[in-house]
Amino acid sequence: MLERVSELLSLHNVLPSSDVNDRDIHNAEEVLGRLPDDYRYFLRQYGWLSVQHLEIFGLGSAVPAYLDVVRMTLAERSEPGSPIPGSYVCVMNDGAGNLFCFDTAESGAGAGIPIVLWDHEIGLDQEPEVRERSFEDWLTALLESELS
């Protein structure tokens, strides 16, 4: 899992190193809902990610508050203007206030939960655009386009 991601990150001297354990992930899931298997694997391997201008939300003792997936998801679920649905978990802000998310209501199936783009300007009635069929595919495509 995440082989291509690991390969791309190693080219930028970002190596797997996380202090996130199963208990940390369980605690996050108690608050957010069941996380997809590929994202859980990412959390165990990397915790969170900041490489060049890309910043992926995650967990860990060194994660900055603005990249903490629990903190940011709870904040975005209660955003007064255009809150994300209560089952969504945000994994990245695009820099313009839009969020890449997955839906924990679909996470019982393990990996393969689509990543969608939540547009903060459209509002609550939107049908978010599917960007990739899984967190792994999304992260791979993102790293290939931005770091290659």
Give residue limits of the domains in the chain. 3-147
Bigger pLDDT: 30 vs 148: 30
> From CA 20, how far away is CA 146, in angstroms rounded?
26
With a pLDDT cut of 90, the percent of the chain lying above it is 74
Q: What is the mean pLDDT of the chain?
A: 91
CB 29 within 8 A of CB 35: yes
pLDDT at 125: 86
Q: What's the pLDDT band for 5 if we cut at 50, 70, 90?
A: very high
pLDDT at 76: 96
**What are the pLDDT digits (tens) for 76-127?**
999 888 899 999 999 999 999 999 999 988 765 555 789 999 999 988 889 9
Indicate if the alpha-carbon torsion angle 80, 84, 86, 92 is positive or negative. negative
Q: What is the domain class of 3-147 according to CATH?
A: alpha beta
pTM: 0.93
